[in-house]
Amino acid sequence: MFGYAGKMLEVNLSTQKIKTRKLEPDLARDYIGGIGFNARILYDEIPAGADPLGPDNVLVFSVGCLVGTPFPTASRMEVSAKSPASNGFGSSNSGAFLGLRLKCAGYDGMIIKGQAQKPVYLLIEEDTIEIKEASFIWGKDAWESIDLLKARHYGAEIMLIGQAGENLVRFASIENGYYDGFGRTGMGAVMGSKKLKAVVVRGSKPIVPADPQGVLELSAKGQKLIKSASSYQAFCAYGTMNATIPYGGFNALSVHNYSRGTLPDWKQKAGRQIVDIYGSRHIACQSCIIACGHLAEINEGKYAGTLVKDMEITPTVSYSSNVGLSTEASIKSSELCQRYGIDMSSSGSVIAFAMELYQKGIINKDDVGYELAFGDDDAAFALLRDISLRQGIGDILAEGVKRAAEHWPGADDYAIHVKGVEVPMIDPRGRWSTWTLGMLTNIRGGDHLRCRNPVENLRYNENLYHYQKERFGFKKPMYDRLDMPENLKSAAIDLESDTVDIAIMSKWAEDLINLYNSVGICIRPPIMETIGPTLLAEIYTCMTGIPMSPDELMMGSERAWNLMKLFNIRHGEVAGDSKFPRRFYRELQSGNIVDEDKVQAVLEQYWQARGWDPGTGHPLPETEKRLGI
């Protein structure tokens, strides 16, 4: 089988049985790879009502089908299971070098079932697969555990959980080496429930494309396109930190649990210039030509000696804005989250939630054991420790804001989540866009990484067509180069009014990002602006030998998205769950509140664009038939 490894590994930890599954050509063609494979497997193999932390949950890791090629940014891998945070489809994505190593070991993915009786780790070395005893690393943080595992398995790539995953914190992450991770929706808690501490991978098998020369030529074309993106140079220099100042200017930050829209010293605390101050070098994933990651180094003061991959917008907003920490304390928070193995977005949100409850008098020092205040790094890190170890009040907060709020009367007003997943950034009262609507339509809950206008323009925030549209703000050459079907592009982007239709663009953006997460490439703006289904269909065909048109490739992505929606419906999601937190509808932010009726109208337009019932948000029978689900 060209392009793919041709099989998936299945491990049942309850029975200690290990076997392989042949990768069927129909699965490869219909679901592509990565999240597409995960969607099909989870839908087929997790029964309705399964406990996310019980033996019936299935944890699936799948590599994007372009991983192993020189196509720019082809490094990504998706992990999915039923989420302990949302009780729906949980999924997270990570790059670096793990996916490549797993594919070179001979596997397009792994399916983990059951639960071990005692802590174990999985060793994959080419064709040798072993379930090994892990008591020597259980209870240790992720970095300490990696050190010990690397001493035994030199040169291996390692994904693992820290103490948060061991203690079933519902927003625990799976760490990917020292500095990367699968952060959102609590996949680390699922891994911890299976008592699987780590997966250690070594592999050196070749990945054989159907048309090697075609793959090389199209990879070079992809590099040229990405380098021509309007955002390329800025992202090479500063990565996602380019966006911190615009969102502060829009009053759209998550300051102090979304009680404010910005901070007076935000530019000094979190502007992109901090990369120049603390960044010692750039970090790139496999096949990447952007290198948007930064190795941050603190050489003096309270946190001297800190060396960590950081200075990306999400952890910066989570800890500098939401929790209110200083720049250096925010950098330190990234190290602690990586060591504990805990989602930087949700942990910052939960800490900010607790700090506001303390500020409002809903909880007090007797409840916590120490004082809480926004900007207090010692208190924030003590609470992060207590959450990760489920100590004291941390045991309640480890359940996430939705469940924790049930413990204190009045706390629900301050629980900022959608469908049980904490909202990490972008206050819709400050900026309404395709991206903000996406926090309601996202199959994994309150999250910003599965729906973004590929040509979002952060130079503008004024809006004459509030809720229905957002500003386009580019000249016609940007419109012309955008790889979308012309009839859809003209419906989504109106050059005369200079606007983007949010409902139509949301559907396209979700399918496009889902395609990226299937083929295994990154979602950074230089890619979204320049790489679409036309080029990806060409390289997919060259890689696999399976003829694929752009429309067929997008249909595969859409098919997987609909399957994930059906998974959520099977596990209890209803239309009324697609709501923002009450605060956004009730409390003014910079003179604005979110109009619930107008949001609902756009949401129903989005459902129609998807071929879903506008009243229930359920895929219509004719949509399921068209997609062959």
Beta bridge partners of 620: none
pLDDT tens digits for 176-227? 999 999 999 999 999 999 999 999 999 999 999 999 999 999 999 999 999 9
Question: Residue 466: which pLDDT band, with cuts at 50, 70 and 90?
Answer: confident
For residue 126, pLDDT beyond 90: no
For residue 127, pLDDT beyond 90: no
Measured CA to CA, the distance from residue 261 to residue 251 in angstroms comes to 4
C-beta atoms surrounding 399 within 10 Å: 22
pLDDT tens digits for 551-586? 999 999 999 999 999 999 999 999 999 999 999 999
**Domain residue limits, the chain:** 7-202, 216-422, 434-627
For residue 32, pLDDT beyond 90: yes
Return the CATH number of 7-202, one of 3.60.9.10, 3.40.50.620, 1.10.10.1400, 3.30.450.40.
Answer: 3.60.9.10
Question: Residue 10: which pLDDT band, with cuts at 50, 70 and 90?
Answer: very high
**pLDDT at residue number 465:** 87
Residue % of the chain over a pLDDT of 90: 98
Measured CA to CA, the distance from residue 194 to residue 160 in angstroms comes to 12
Residue 18, judged by CB atoms within 10 A of its CB (0-12, 13-18, 19+), counts as middle
Same fold, 216-422 and 434-627: no
Question: Residue 153: which pLDDT band, with cuts at 50, 70 and 90?
Answer: very high
Measured CA to CA, the distance from residue 289 to residue 291 in angstroms comes to 6
Answer whether 414's CB lies under 8 Å from 583's CB.
yes
**pLDDT at residue number 61:** 98
Round the average pLDDT of the chain to a whole number and report it: 97
Q: Which of 357-361, 587-591, 615-619 has the lowest mean pLDDT?
A: 587-591
Measured CA to CA, the distance from residue 494 to residue 595 in angstroms comes to 24
**pLDDT at residue number 463:** 83
Domain 216-422 indexed as CATH 1.20.1420.30: no
Residue type, 338: Q
- Whole-model pTM: value is 0.97
CA atoms within 13 A on the CB side of 74: 25
> Phi and psi of 184, rounded to 5°?
-90, 160
> Phi and psi of 444, rounded to 5°?
-105, 10
Return the CATH number of 434-627, one of 1.10.599.10, 3.90.226.10, 3.20.20.70, 3.40.50.2300.
Answer: 1.10.599.10
532, two tokens: 């679409």
Residue type, 321: S
